[in-house]
Amino acid sequence: MTTHLALLRGINVSGHNMMKMEALKTMLENLGFQNVRTYLQSGNVFVDSEEEPSKVGFMIKQEIFKVFGHEVPVVMITKENLESCFANNPYLKEKDCDTKKLYVAFVSTTLKKENINDLKISQFKPDEASIDENRIFIKYAVGAGKTRFDQKYIEKKLNVTATIRNWNTVTNLLKMYSE
């Protein structure tokens, strides 16, 4: 049995794609997943399964549509992927790093370092971004709510599915992987 983390994009945000976590948990248990756990109301779900991550993500997406009627993109994240966040986040190495301004965009495919040029991040200065495989590390100057460098922009520019989590959430998700 392998523990999988599914990041659901765009649920319970500003009254859109509403679903109670208890109902989501029950739905996933009915699909045959074990040890189903959620974190916050924003779509962070752990499930245990013998299936491959891509199949788990597909099953979750299909069942959410069938049960709730929402078209919800799902990005699957491994424990190793989360551990790499801590090892490879360039902003953590900065003196006096304010982790409240750090975010990670998890994307559906592996990116190349050159993809940073496609993002045209310079037009969002003083926000900063760095690409590492299927993650984009983001350091917002003011905050996530005051920038146009968001998940929709990333998806459009790179033609990927993306979902963004703040650093506190990333930290807690890694802890939960070990529980």
Tell me the torsion sign for CA atoms 91, 132, 125, 44. Answer: negative
Query: Radius of gyration (Cα) for the chain, nearest Å?
Result: 16
Alpha-carbon distance 104 to 162, whole Å?
A: 10
pLDDT value of residue 158? 92
Which neighbouring-strand residues pair with 37?
A: 46
pLDDT value of residue 17? 72
Tell me the torsion sign for CA atoms 2, 33, 7, 66. Answer: positive
Alpha-carbon distance 145 to 171, whole Å?
A: 20
pLDDT value of residue 35? 94
pLDDT value of residue 41? 75
pLDDT value of residue 178? 79
pLDDT value of residue 12? 58
- Interacting residues of 77 by C-beta distance below 8 A, sequence separation 6+: 5, 6, 7, 106, 173
Alpha-carbon distance 133 to 87, whole Å?
A: 13
Looking at the whole model, is its pTM more than 0.95? no
pLDDT tens-digit profile, the chain (179 residues): 899 999 998 775 656 677 888 899 999 999 999 999 998 777 899 999 999 999 999 999 999 999 999 899 999 999 999 999 999 999 998 888 889 999 999 998 888 888 888 888 888 889 999 999 899 999 998 878 778 898 899 999 999 999 999 999 999 999 998 77
3-state SS assignment for residue 64: helix
Alpha-carbon distance 67 to 35, whole Å?
A: 20
Q: Could you list the beta-strand ranges (E) of 12-84.
A: 34-39, 44-49, 74-77
